[in-house]
Structure 1
Amino acid sequence: MSNEKRGSQALIQTMINQGVKYVFGIPGAKVDQLFEDLTYSDDPRTPKLIVARHEQNAAFIAAGIGRLTGKPGVVATTSGPGVSNLVTGLITATTEADPVVALGGQVPRDDLARLTHQSILSKELMANATKSSVEVQDANNLSEAFANAYQSAISPKAGAAFISLPADVLSDKVNRPEVKPLTKHENGRAADATLDQIIELLKHAKLPVILAGMRASTPENTAAIRSLLKKFPLPVVETYQGAGIISHELEDDFFGRVGLFRNQIGDTLLKRSDLVVSIGYDPVEYEARNWNVDRTGKVVNIDDVAPEISKDYQPDVIVVADIAGSLDALADRLPGEFKLSADTSKTLDNLRQEFDSENKVPTDVKPGTVHPLAIVRALQERVDDDTTVTVDVGSHYIWMARHFRIYKPRHLLFSNGMQTLGVSLPWAIAAALVRPGKPVVSVSGDGGFLFSGQELETAVRLNLNIVQLIWNDGYYDMVKFQEIAKYGKPAGVQFGPVDYVKYAESFGARGLRVTSPDDLGTTLDQAFKTKGPVIVDIPVDYSDNIKLKSALLKDILN
């Protein structure tokens, strides 16, 4: 009996072997064999094919899977524009360390050198958007190509990998066995001598501060940081992708987030610190020239990726090793009597009071609108620790990053490396799939929402419980208020109105509208009780946005 199978079947079996649960994508002639075999497979372990409404959004959903689970999400599209539409999603994933494997259809092999329908240099196009980009020329190589792409996607620094699939390769016969489930890589921890060097620096530091970055937010690394803080309480500043590292019981150690404009409590603390311990920090989140300028203190870099060295970032101690293992070993070697001085504790208390005072909600807003802090507070009161909140890019994301608290890692998601518009709803779809039964909230502006709003139909089709908030003001406001700060007037930032209640209803979702601050709470309560996707249109007063940029540290010119 022959063991031959089609290339697409071998590819699917390899996905099964690696535990892939979903494939997101858009159909087309060059990948129809793969879509057929995904749809009609008899194996119950076959990944579920979920058709999206745009390739870019399919890549965003796959990246959301990657960020939430640590395992690559998979996206599949047809050739030509099907592949080129992936670029933004994949470069965002690569920049922000979200593992993705992208499968792009390609013309048959004998058409690759011809000017034929949808023939583009897919592999070359994706070379700068991904960690690895290959084109498979023999069906027997499909399994190996996927396994290596999967491994590339999860290896530090995580990101996207691309495989170009000529149509005839998918339909060709395969007689080679598929790659087995990959074994997990085990990285060693830091050497004892290096840990002792870090301990000596901690002993002599007056104000040591932890800067917790994107790679600190894995479950293992977060657990290790929390264990360390229970033994030696240190002030912690999170990056946007480090949100949620601090738990409820460690909230006294939390001193805000940094990631945009050098004017936060965290910036003040980092500037004053004579020892910054950066954990899983990536400069794409917040360049060292923002937080390490004119500092005279030392820096310890603990990461599983070698740091990018610049004139502004030259760590005194560099650990490139398993983060959790290194932190656990550090905690074990720390003397039990470690604590901050009374003067340092007083300084931190004063900073905390200033930090907390910034959350007061102003009452003088334009009639019929709601202040950003009122929205943040109302949402805060209605979420629990299991809620996933995805945040698009815009003025709202600055307010959310600065004022919204979350106590589990990777439950508050931002695009801060690329600041890519349109990520929020696709990420929310990913969260609803991998965290079934848990609340999911997507927060967008009226500008960014329509970059991916068509995926509302996908959410309706899948019957996902997603509350989509739209902060509505009729502008690309994050650009608007910065133009006003620079030039005194805005340009090219206004667009026309959309009735988002009718928009929601046209997709089969529920649409709700807030008309004043007084009905914000009751409207949100109604949204959270609604089954399936629901849009909440909130008119927002961004009059205070200029304060987000103007209150800079005294040594920085605006």
Structure 2
Amino acid sequence: MSTEKNGAEALFNSMVNQGVKYVFGLPGAKVDKLFDLLEYSNDPKAPKLIITRHEQNAAFIASGIGRLTGKPGVVATTSGPGVSNLATGLITATSEGDPVVALGGQVPRNDVSRLTHQSIPSKELLNSATKDSVEVQDANNISETFANAYQTAMAPKSGATFISLPKDVLDDAVTDDEIKTLSPIQQGGADSATIAQIIDKIKHAKLPVILAGMRSSSEEVTEAIHHFLHKFSIPVVETFQGAGVISRDLEKNYYGRVGLFRNQIGDAMLKESDLVIAIGYDPVEYEARIWNVDRTGEIINLDSIAPEISNEYQPDLVVQADIAKTIKDLAHNLPDDIGLSDDLKEHLHNMQVSFVSQDEVPSETSGKGLHPLEIINALQNQVNDDTTVTVDVGSHYIWMARHFRSYKPRHLLFSNGMQTLGVALPWAIAAALERPGQPIVSVAGDGGFLFSGQELETAVRLNLNIVQLVWNDGYYDMVKFQEEAKYGRNAGVKLGKVDFAKYAESFGATGMHAETADELKDSLDKAFKTSGPVVIDIPVDYSDNIKLVSTLLEDVLN
């Protein structure tokens, strides 16, 4: 038996044992013992406590840690609204496969069912937002509860877990030892018979295409895909969360990203393909009812989890196994002389030439703001392959997903399961913490930025080098242009004017305006050399947004 301790100490020690580096959140009376331990511990392995300006943003930062590292980010809040404010962040993490462990204070056990101060059914409230939601009833169970929540958050499909912690449980004595460091979750690769079956389908396909989804974007899986492509060079279509799977040296294999509207080169590629190899694909990213509705070819589903079957998605072969191990075995066993026909190679080359031409900045612009491609072009010229770029939701999100290139997995981050406003700056904070010394860029619209813009103070306090671009047009434009395309007018989308450079300065950050392409280039040059957060306010002209819903393939606005 260990020396007697209380529940808060057992929880703190459990986080140390699992290697938790940070705890994000807001304080309160129900969790003050835990926060006190985090603030004043002399243990060099103690998690760093980072206080945020809103619980939702704390959950977003924790999910950013989860996406970047594959290990759960941890968020801790007090009871009542401290817990309920977690809901959006946790449901986003669960939808998009980002491991998070959320800790929520709770009233003492004998008050849970009473109408007392901040008493809410926390466990039940967050049950639908998480993979698992529990309330600890015995202080001796705290460590094993945390260990199981940590493991469940990481297990495929990764997502959020929640632990409700009544105050008297955190106060109670604990005599049991804490759970030690967990062993990694291991899966085996597909067996030899399955490998042979996959290879047989590949050999008989005229145009096999890889659809790289969210679970293809780990370093191990991406490396395995690269190995496969060096053996057999075929087209790859990325989902938004699969961004960066294709490295710079394999750019000839990149045929765009798919999501939202079915009118991209990737959509054409999937339709032409007689064998789609869906790797780590999740329907929440881009529903099969959009891209698979009129195809006649086969589908191989290779993933660490079983797929969701629907009328529009019934794979011809389902392989549930370790993705990286299976792809490496495939590459090893492919025939040395395998390849696409010369006619097909020429066809693919012509498609790609047309695809690349779409990235060119128009020769004539309105002069009423920068064209989206002018902003993307300036940013693309500024970054390197190690730059992490986080993208909020809005019209800029579609332009970035279609035209901005990224060559390393999980270096271009999108919210594509929930399309949650406000994620970009919190994710950028996570990236700045996990990737110190590397450039970090956050891209948001003027609407979404103010969902979490208060975390500029957090970034300033931590002296994080984040360059925040705000595409400013005074509307919730992603809704506006779709309303206009459907109804010929817009409703409920007009916003008031904000000077985001002055807003930044009020937090102690650096604020800049960039109203021309030359000014944007100069501002980016300065911003990347400036210590601490920088916000660049950029007027944008979205007149060409109608092109985002133009028809390459028959589509329905959604």
Instruction: Verify the 8 A CA contact 2:59 2:90 in the aligned structure 1.
Output: yes
- Mapping of residues 177-256 of structure 1, within 5 Å: 177-256=177-256
Instruction: Verify the 8 A CA contact 1:368 1:517 in the aligned structure 2.
Output: no
Which amino acid in structure 2 is aligned with residue 534 of structure 1? V
Match of 1:372?
372
Deviations 1:515-557 (A, max 9, x none): 222312111111111110000000000000011012341x335
Kindly indicate whether residue 294 of structure 2 is the aligned counterpart of residue 301 of structure 1. no
Instruction: Verify the 8 A CA contact 1:368 1:516 in the aligned structure 2.
Output: no
Deviations 1:299-355 (A, max 9, x none): 000000100001111111110000001001111111111110012111101110110
Match of 1:139?
139
Match of 2:401?
401
Deviations 1:246-296 (A, max 9, x none): 011111000000011000000000001000000000000000111111111
Match of 1:127?
127
2:379 match: secondary structure: helix
Kindly indicate whether residue 421 of structure 2 is the aligned counterpart of residue 425 of structure 1. no
Structure 1 CA distance, aligned partners of 2:282 and 2:515? 41
Structure 2 CA distance, aligned partners of 1:168 and 1:9? 13
Instruction: Verify the 8 A CA contact 2:2 2:177 in the aligned structure 1.
Output: no
Structure 2 CA distance, aligned partners of 1:514 and 1:551? 33
Structure 1 CA distance, aligned partners of 2:113 and 2:459? 40
Which amino acid in structure 1 is aligned with residue 116 of structure 2? T
Match of 1:464?
464
2:286 match: secondary structure: coil
- Mapping of residues 376-387 of structure 1, within 5 Å: 376-387=376-387
Which amino acid in structure 1 is aligned with residue 189 of structure 2? R
The answer for unaligned runs of 5 or more in structure 1 is none
TM-score relative to the length of structure 1: 0.99
2:382 match: secondary structure: coil
Match of 2:555?
556
- 1:195 Cα offset (Å): 1.0
- Mapping of residues 271-286 of structure 1, within 5 Å: 271-286=271-286
Match of 1:474?
474
In structure 2, relative to structure 1, the CA distance for the partners of 1:422 and 1:557 (3 Å cut) is: closer
**Alpha carbon RMSD of aligned pairs, Å?**
1.0
Structure 2 CA distance, aligned partners of 1:134 and 1:453? 32
1:277 match: secondary structure: strand
Instruction: Verify the 8 A CA contact 2:263 2:555 in the aligned structure 1.
Output: no
Instruction: Verify the 8 A CA contact 1:215 1:242 in the aligned structure 2.
Output: yes
Structure 2 CA distance, aligned partners of 1:279 and 1:516? 41
Structure 2 CA distance, aligned partners of 1:91 and 1:201? 37
Match of 1:75?
75
Match of 1:451?
451
Instruction: Verify the 8 A CA contact 2:378 2:517 in the aligned structure 1.
Output: no
- 1:2 Cα offset (Å): 7.2
User: Runs in 1 of length 4+ with deviation above 2 angstroms?
Assistant: 363-368, 555-558
Which amino acid in structure 1 is aligned with residue 280 of structure 2? G
Match of 1:157?
157
In structure 2, relative to structure 1, the CA distance for the partners of 1:79 and 1:439 (3 Å cut) is: same
- 1:212 Cα offset (Å): 0.3
Instruction: Verify the 8 A CA contact 1:369 1:517 in the aligned structure 2.
Output: no
- 1:174 Cα offset (Å): 0.7
Match of 2:503?
503
Match of 1:24?
24
Which amino acid in structure 2 is aligned with residue 355 of structure 1? F
Instruction: Verify the 8 A CA contact 1:460 1:507 in the aligned structure 2.
Output: yes
Structure 2 CA distance, aligned partners of 1:487 and 1:436? 47
Structure 1 CA distance, aligned partners of 2:320 and 2:392? 32
Q: Number of aligned residue pairs: give it.
A: 557
2:105 match: secondary structure: strand
TM-score relative to the length of structure 2: 0.99
Structure 2 CA distance, aligned partners of 1:243 and 1:135? 37
1:381 match: secondary structure: helix
Percent sequence identity is 70
The answer for unaligned runs of 5 or more in structure 2 is none
Structure 2 CA distance, aligned partners of 1:366 and 1:168? 63
Instruction: Verify the 8 A CA contact 1:368 1:515 in the aligned structure 2.
Output: no
Instruction: Verify the 8 A CA contact 1:106 1:166 in the aligned structure 2.
Output: yes
1:276 match: secondary structure: strand
1:266 match: secondary structure: helix
Deviations 1:393-428 (A, max 9, x none): 000010000000000000000000000000000000
Which amino acid in structure 2 is aligned with residue 197 of structure 1? Q
In structure 2, relative to structure 1, the CA distance for the partners of 1:352 and 1:168 (3 Å cut) is: same
- 1:43 Cα offset (Å): 1.0
- 1:364 Cα offset (Å): 2.8
Instruction: Verify the 8 A CA contact 2:261 2:555 in the aligned structure 1.
Output: no
Match of 1:61?
61
